[in-house]
Amino acid sequence: MNKSTKILYYTPRILCVIAILFISLFALDAFETGSTIWEQITAFLIHLIPSFILTILLIIAWKKELLGGILFLIISLVFSPIIFKMNYNMNHSFWMSMGIIFLITIPFAVVGILFIMSHFRKRQNIEK
């Protein structure tokens, strides 16, 4: 495996782990005063469901890059308008809502594209 193939292989994986950790930070808002510890732990686990799903997608993409890349692109494209609408209804700012989209869903679109590129690069190297 040459250097550019290695970079293309590891970049989507590392970027995805970082993006999942970033998404997981939002679960920390479950720990608020006024709730019992069990209510807080339950809320925390519920808030981590998207991170668990994204981790499962990462495991799939790690084994089958093309399928994983397509799934990450689909997730990104489906959730971008939903997240935009939800945030726009809360803050009534187009640009703030777009910023949130760039922070939350665009990294997973980039990960999907990189997994697909890695799949085709690996396939191209096998044919040579």
pTM: 0.89
Q: DSSP string covering 25-90, please?
A: HGGGGG--TTS-HHHHHHHHHHHTHHHHHHHHHHHHHHH-HHHHHHHHHHHHHHHHHHHHHHHHHH
Give residue-wise pLDDT tens across range 5-52: 899 999 999 999 999 999 999 999 888 878 889 999 999 999 999 999
* pLDDT bracket for residue 93 (50, 70, 90): very high
Provide the terminal-to-terminal Cα distance of the chain, rounded to the nearest Å.
12
